[in-house]
Copies of this chain bind each other. A is one copy, B any other.
Amino acid sequence: MAYRRTPKMQGRIDAAREQILTAAHRLVAEAGYGGTAIPDVAKAAGVSTGSVYTHFPSKTALFSEVYQRAARHEIEVFREVADTKGTPRERLTQMVETFARRALAGRKLAWALLVESVNEEIDADRMRFREPYRAIIEDVINEGIKADEFVVQDAKVTSMCIVGAIVETLVRPLSRAQQADEEERLVCNLIQVCLRSAGPIMR
């Protein structure tokens, strides 16, 4: 034998892998999955096309990892907000606002993560990306029910609806930027609708 993988070598490999992931992330944030070709990623990462395939078995696999990383980070942020002090109602407000504002701040990425549909595998990733948001919202709603702040309800369905409401409200702004005050209005009203969705019925 005349070659063995040393820590130093491993470091370079890992670094290259990181470069590729970072570049892919950046390009997705600029052009979405569909608008990003592997040769572009390679160029942006400073490696060759073929090299990408020594690190990832396919485009789908690479982007799947990109999505999962971005998702994990976003969801951490979201969970932190959900865990801050305040009544369930106050926290839900914060959560919806955070979700909306972060999405609008990184439009294209949010669009890629939330709605861009490309193939079944990536679609599955997107579903998986939405699910944690839903679950966190569900928890807060259930706390609100216990605290008599929200009416007794199927928190699972309500949380689904809230995720759907947020996404639907944001789809258009995410595709093409609106006027700032228009977006402001949207976010405020979105919060109101979400609160009502979870809130008690008045008869």
Q: Which of A13-21, A58-66, A150-158 contacts B (4 or more CB under 8 A)?
A: A150-158
Task: Find out whether the CB atom of B199 lies under 8 angstroms from the CB atom of A193.
Answer: no
Contacts of A76 in B (CB 8 A): none
Chain A 160-203 interface residues, beta-carbon cutoff 8 Å to B: 160-169, 171-172, 185-186, 189-190, 192-202
SS class, residues of chain A in contact with chain B: helix
Residue A38 lies at the interface, judged by CB distance under 8 Å to chain B:
no
Q: How far is the CB of A180 from chain B (nearest CB, A)?
A: 16
A85 to B24, CA, bound (A): 55
Residue A116 lies at the interface, judged by CB distance under 8 Å to chain B:
yes
Task: Find out whether the CB atom of A164 lies under 8 angstroms from the CB atom of B168.
Answer: yes
Q: How far is the CB of A189 from chain B (nearest CB, A)?
A: 4
Q: How far is the CB of A80 from chain B (nearest CB, A)?
A: 24
| A interface bracket (residues with beta carbon within 8 Å of B) | 35 or more
Beyond A117-B115, A197-B193, whether A186 also contacts B157 by CB under 8 A is: yes
**Highest count of chain B CB atoms <10 Å: which of A115, A161, A167:** A161
Q: How far is the CB of A103 from chain B (nearest CB, A)?
A: 13
The residues of A with any CB-CB pair to B shorter than 8 Å are: 115-118, 127, 151, 153-154, 157-158, 160-169, 171-172, 185-186, 189-190, 192-202
20 more A-B residue pairs beyond the given contacts A115-B117, A160-B165, A164-B164, with a C-beta to C-beta distance below 8 A: A116-B117, A153-B189, A154-B189, A154-B192, A157-B169, A157-B185, A157-B186, A157-B189, A158-B193, A160-B168, A161-B165, A161-B190, A162-B165, A164-B166, A164-B167, A165-B168, A196-B197, A196-B201, A199-B201, A202-B202
